[in-house]
Amino acid sequence: MTKKIIVCTNYRANPNNPSCMARGSQEIFAALTQQLAQENMPITVEESPCLGFCEIGPNLRLMPSGTFFHEVSDKKLSLIIKKAKLFLKQQ
Ligand code: FES
């Protein structure tokens, strides 16, 4: 099965109702896509509907069945890329 990273880009306009896109997941998606391309990594990044952790977003996940990452910011991208490299080596 193809490995990928899914990024929740669900948006809710109501500020009392948190959502990953309202917390910057679109920018995370763009930055992650760019950095993975620079590293020439054979993994895709895809937008995802709500992953069920809206209170601690932006959220993303290694797929299939990989690690979740919560409260993702630019500062966490290098860690996520390291984990993705290990994930790619797994069967
Ligand atoms: S809105 Fe992203 S996990 Fe629910």
Cα distance between residue 3 and residue 17, in whole Å: 31
Q: Identify the band that residue 15 occupies on the pLDDT scale cut at 50, 70 and 90.
A: confident
Provide the mean pLDDT of the chain.
96
Q: Identify the band that residue 49 occupies on the pLDDT scale cut at 50, 70 and 90.
A: very high
Contact in structure between 9 and 48 (CB atoms under 8 Å)? yes
CATH architecture of 4-89: 3-Layer(aba) Sandwich (3.40)
For a ligand 1 pocket test, name from 6, 7, 8 the mutation site with the most ligand atoms within 8 angstroms of its C-beta. 8
For a ligand 1 pocket test, name from 6, 53, 61 the mutation site with the most ligand atoms within 8 angstroms of its C-beta. 53
Cα of 86 vs its chain's centroid, Å: 16
Is residue 48 pLDDT above 80, yes or no? yes
- Kindly state the percentage of the chain with pLDDT values over 90: 93
- Quote the Cα angle for 88-43-65, to 5°: 60
